[in-house]
Amino acid sequence: MKSGFSHMLDLYLTNSTILKTNILFGSSDVAYSKSSFDEKQITRSNLETSMASSNLQHLHLSVTAYRKDTFADLNLTRTETSTKEIITIESKMKNVHRGRNEMPHNKNERQRECDNCFKHDFEYYIQNDHICNTSAMHEQIDLLILVTTVHKNGFVREALRTTWLSCTKNNTANVRHVFLLGKTFDNRLQESVMRENDIYHDIVQEMFIDTYQNLTYKTIMGFKWASTKCSNAHFVMKTDDDMWVNVPSLVKLLSESDLANYLQTGLTGDCMANKSPIRNNNSKWYASLISYPDVSYPHFCSGTGYMTSIKVVSEIYNVSPNVPFFHLEDIYVALCARRLGLSVKKTVGFYAGHRLNVCDHKKDDVLTVHQVTPSKLAEIWKTLCSPK
Q: Give the pLDDT confidence of 295-311 residue by residue, as tens digits.
A: 999 999 999 999 999 99
pLDDT at 201 over 80: yes
Domain boundary among 55, 81, 100: 100
Statement to judge: residues 87 and 142 lie in one domain:
no
Statement to judge: residues 94 and 141 lie in one domain:
no
Residue at 277 is within a domain = yes
DSSP letters, 279-332, are: --TTSTTB--TTT--SSSPPSEEEEEEEEEEHHHHHHHHHHGGGS---S-HHHH
Q: What is the pTM of this model?
A: 0.75
**Cα–Cα distance for residue pair 184/223, rounded to 1 Å:** 21
Statement to judge: residues 176 and 53 lie in one domain:
no
Statement to judge: residues 75 and 141 lie in one domain:
no
Could you give the number of structural domains in the chain?
2
Question: What CATH number is associated with residue 242?
Answer: 3.90.550.10
Among 21-25, 207-211, 224-228, the range scoring the smallest mean pLDDT is 21-25
Statement to judge: residues 29 and 75 lie in one domain:
yes
Q: CB atoms < 10 A from the CB of 169, how many?
A: 11
Residue at 378 is within a domain = yes
pLDDT value at residue 138: 73
Residue at 131 is within a domain = no
Residue at 109 is within a domain = no
Statement to judge: residues 377 and 254 lie in one domain:
yes
Q: Give the helix ranges, DSSP H, for the chain.
A: 105-108, 154-162, 187-200, 215-229, 247-256, 259-262, 310-319, 329-340, 374-382
Question: What CATH number is associated with residue 51?
Answer: 2.60.40
Statement to judge: residues 79 and 176 lie in one domain:
no
Domain boundary among 73, 100, 127: 100
Q: CB atoms < 10 A from the CB of 257, how many?
A: 11
- Asked if residues 30 and 49 have their Cβ atoms less than 8 Å apart, the reply is yes
pLDDT at 331 over 90: yes
Domain boundary among 79, 100, 121: 100
Q: How confident is the model at residue 109 (pLDDT cuts 50, 70, 90)?
A: confident
- Asked if residues 323 and 113 have their Cβ atoms less than 8 Å apart, the reply is yes
Range of the domain at 188: 137-382
